[in-house]
Amino acid sequence: MPDASTSTQPRIARIWRGRTRPERADEYEAYNYEVGIKPLIEQALGVQTFREDRAEATEFVTISYWASLAAMQSFAGADPTQIHHLERDPELLIELPSSVQILRLRHSHGHVGGEAG
């Protein structure tokens, strides 16, 4: 069995959630991409971003995929559940998330990915 720390297959997902006011959603999405997502893309095996627009708030979800906990820690630090807020997060988010969720990937079926409009 291959060593998970050197695998290029996703074994762990790190899930971040944040909410902003609808009138600031486009601004936050662009800012988050430039300052938060681009560096993540350089390190993670894959990154997916989601957005749900509701009347009272817009929620963003970012899922990054990692080969191992050690690989994730090299990007996020010794405690990968700890949030590293972006400089403008206090201004743009309704509340600052206190942690992220880390899940071990058990099974993957089909092809997931691509661009959405």
User: Comparing 14 with 113, which gets the higher pLDDT?
Assistant: 14
Q: Are 6 and 67 in contact (CB under 8 A)?
A: yes
Q: What is the token pair recorded at 58? A: 């817009």
Q: Are 84 and 97 in contact (CB under 8 A)?
A: no
Is residue 111 a part of any domain in this protein? Answer: no
**Full domain range(s) for residue 89:** 4-104
pLDDT reported for residue 61 = 98
CATH code assigned at 59? 3.30.70.100
Q: How many residues does the chain have?
A: 117
Convert the pLDDT of each residue in 23-65 to its tens digit: 999 999 999 999 999 999 999 999 999 999 999 999 999 999 9
* The total number of structural domains that make up the chain: 1
Instruction: Quote the CA–CA distance of 2 and 76 in Å, as a whole number.
Output: 24
